[in-house]
Amino acid sequence: MSAAANSKRYALSAVDKQRQQLDRLLKDPSKPIYVPPPPQEKFIRPAREMMKNVQGSSAGAGSGEFHVYKAGRRREYERLAILAEQSQKEIDEREFEQRRQEAAAIADSKTTKNRNKRQKRKERTKGSSKVQNDDETPLKKRRLVNGEAIQFRRPGEDSDTEDETPIQPPPSVVVEVREEIAVVEGAKITIVEDD
For 50-74, the pLDDT digits (tens) are 766 666 555 566 777 788 788 888 9
Phi-psi region of 56 (alpha: psi -120 to 50; beta: other; left: phi over 0): beta
| Tens digit of each residue's pLDDT (9 = 90 or more) over 103-156 | 999 999 999 999 999 999 999 888 776 544 445 545 445 556 666 666 666 666
Judge if pTM exceeds 0.85.
no
From residue 74, give the alpha-carbon distance in Å to each of 43, 62, 68, 80.
15, 20, 10, 10
